C-alpha cells in the first residue's frame, strides 16, 4: 500500500546544503504510536523506541560534523526538531560542508534509529519511518521562535486535543 504524501517534499530551487536552521518532521510508518504516549498533562512518556530515537537525534552532531541541534520533541507517532547546518548557529549562517545536506542528515537519523530499534527491541515494527520527511527552511528569528514554541507546545496540544475529543 502506497503511503500518502504528507507535504511538498522540497522548496523548489532551494539548495538544501545551505547553512542555517531547518524545522523537520518525520512520522512513523502508518502513524503507529511506537515512541511512547503523552499524558493528560502534556508529558511525553517515551517507550524504549522513543528513547532510542531521542538518543540517535542527540548523537547527530558527532555523526554529521557541521550539524548542531536545537529544540526537538519525540512524540508517540512523529518527531519534530530544529537542526542547523554549518558551524554558525545563527539564521543565515555561512560555509557549511558542501557534502552535508539536510537529506543526508535526515537519512542518517532515520536509518540509524530504525536499525537500533530493530536490534535492541523485540518488536515486529517494520518499517519504523514513513518515507521522506517534511521540512521548513527557517529564515528569520521570528520563524525560529515560532518553530521552537510549536515544538515545545506540541505534547500539551495533543493532550488538550484528546481531552476535547473525549468530551
Note the pLDDT tens digit of each residue in 80-113.
Answer: 999 999 854 445 444 445 578 999 999 999 999 9
* Whole-angstrom distance, CA of residue 71 vs CA of residue 152: 8
Could you tell me which CATH number the domain at 20-166 has?
Answer: 3.30.70.1290
pTM over 0.75: yes
Q: How confident is the model at residue 13 (pLDDT cuts 50, 70, 90)?
A: confident
- For 114, residues 6+ apart whose C-beta sits below 8 A from its C-beta are 127, 128, 129
pLDDT of residue 31: 94
Residue-range domain boundaries for the chain: 20-166
Amino acid at each position: 500500500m502506497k503511503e500518502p504524501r504528507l507535504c511538498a517534499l522540497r522548496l523548489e530551487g532551494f539548495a538544501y546544503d545551505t547553512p542555517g536552521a531547518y524545522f523537520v518532521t518525520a512520522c512513523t510508518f502508518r502513524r503507529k504510536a511506537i515512541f511512547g504516549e503523552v499524558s493528560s498533562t502534556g508529558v511525553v512518556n517515551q517507550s524504549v523506541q522513543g528513547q532510542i530515537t531521542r538518543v540517535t537525534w542527540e548523537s547527530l552532531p558527532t555523526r554529521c560534523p557541521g550539524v548542531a541541534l536545537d529544540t526537538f520533541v519525540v512524540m508517540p507517532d512523529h518527531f519534530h526538531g530544529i537542526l542547523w547546518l554549518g558551524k554558525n548557529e545563527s539564521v543565515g549562517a555561512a560555509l557549511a560542508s558542501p557534502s552535508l545536506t539536510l537529506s543526508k542528515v535526515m537519512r542518517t537519523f532515520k536509518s540509524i534509529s530504525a536499525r537500533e530499534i530493530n536490534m535492541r527491541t523485540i518488536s515486529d515494527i517494520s518499517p519504523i519511518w514513513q518515507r521522506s520527511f517534511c521540512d521548513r527552511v527557517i529564515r528569520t528569528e521570528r520563524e525560529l521562535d515560532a518553530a521552537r514554541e510549536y515544538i515545545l507546545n506540541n505534547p500539551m496540544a495533543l493532550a488538550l486535543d484528546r481531552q476535547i475529543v473525549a468530551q
